[in-house]
Amino acid sequence: METVAEPEIVIIAKKSSHGGHHGGAWKVAYADFVTGMMALFIVLWLMNASKPVQTAVGGYFKDPHGTTKMMGIDVSSTVATPSPKKEDMQKLKEEILKSIQHIDPLNKLKNQIEITITSEGLRIELMESAKGTFFELGSASPTPALKELLGVLAPELGKLPNKISIEGHTDSKPYLGIQSYDNWDLSCDRANEARRIIQAEGLQRKQISQVRGFADQRLRVALHPEDPSNRRISLIVQYQVKADAEEPLPAGMKLSNTEPTSK
């Protein structure tokens, strides 16, 4: 009996030619490229940044969780950080007192002038008396005493590179003059009048940083809101700020300090 041979079965495996178009390998390569470009731009920016910014950024990457003191710096606080040389303000205070002594040898204005060193800088307070010393009562019209005093202060302050801010303050007595005019207007007008006088006497225009009126919101004698000394003009010689501290960081980057800024 003759045997019939079984047919040979051949299986051919076909490779798909379109699978590569939908693969994810190109996405990984593209992400690596973008990350590399971002790193390059950060390095280029850091090469041209100031030393404090370089130190801050380096501190952040070394310790992103802020467990050490060198995490970084708070840029906003750096801009406002005063110069540590407060002895310079003490010398300026002594020089101003000597200048005032020349126009007030009998110390008649002793109780109307107060000079203190604060966290802002050197604060010079020109306080009113019950009868009015530096301004006419209820008015922004200056007295000869104010003009003479600012005439002495202007040359001394004009020698400095420091910025000067001027504040006007009143007591809590309601203003009894024009109905549409109140203590806010009066405090602003007095501060602005002081600015005009001190600039005319020698203070540089670029030195004025602010002219503000506070009405009775910052009383000198809070327990006695109607005390005459609450009516005053304040001249603040501000601490100098280092120029490189004002360099802005790129958008979205914020650095902070784990320790509060000392004042």
Q: Locate the domains of the chain by residue range.
A: 25-81, 87-240
CATH of domain 87-240: 3.30.1330.60
Count CB atoms within 10 A of the CB of residue 192. Answer: 16
Q: Which two tokens stand for residue 263?
A: 């004042």
- Distance, first Cα to last Cα, the chain: 115
Model confidence band, residue 82 (pLDDT cutoffs 50, 70, 90): very low
State pTM to two decimals: 0.59
- 162 CB-contact burial (10 Å; exposed 0-12 / middle 13-18 / buried 19+): buried
- Residues 91-125 have pLDDT tens digits of 899 999 998 988 888 788 888 999 999 999 999 99
Rounded to 10 degrees, the C-alpha dihedral 108/139/164/118 comes to 60
Confidence of residue 147 (pLDDT cuts 50, 70, 90): very high
